[in-house]
Amino acid sequence: MTGPAQPRSCLARAHHTPVDVEAEKRDGWRRHGILVVAEDDRRLTWPERALVRQLGARLYGGRGEAGHG
């Protein structure tokens, strides 16, 4: 015997399941060569964080500026 059927709703498709952000970033790198890294990621050394800031500024402009690129 089974329990009661779950209610059905047209909103069921909109139900959001949690995403493992680190797994998504890892998958993006491994499958597509896309790197997503926060400039203040504590796993990086100070020079590595500085490089991330420089790359971000070069590709997309400064943090307070309107989008360039």
In this prediction the pTM is: 0.64
Over the stretch 18-53, which tens digit does the pLDDT of each residue have? 899 999 999 999 999 999 999 999 999 999 999 999
Residue 35 forms part of a structural domain: yes
Residue 67 has pLDDT above 60, yes or no: no
**Does the residue 66 lie in any domain?**
no
Domain count, the chain: 1
Q: How many residues does the chain have?
A: 69
Q: Output the CA torsion sign for 45, 50, 51, 53.
A: positive
Whether the pLDDT of residue 63 is over 90: the answer is no
Q: Which pLDDT score, from 0 to 100, does residue 64 have?
A: 79
Boundaries of domain holding 53: 18-60
CA 35 to chain centre: 10
In a domain, 2, yes or no: no
pLDDT value for 66:
61
Identify whether the C-beta of residue 39 lies closer than 8 Å to the C-beta of residue 52.
Answer: yes
Query: Which pLDDT score, from 0 to 100, does residue 17 have?
Result: 85
Cα angle at 27 between 26 and 32, to 5 degrees? 110
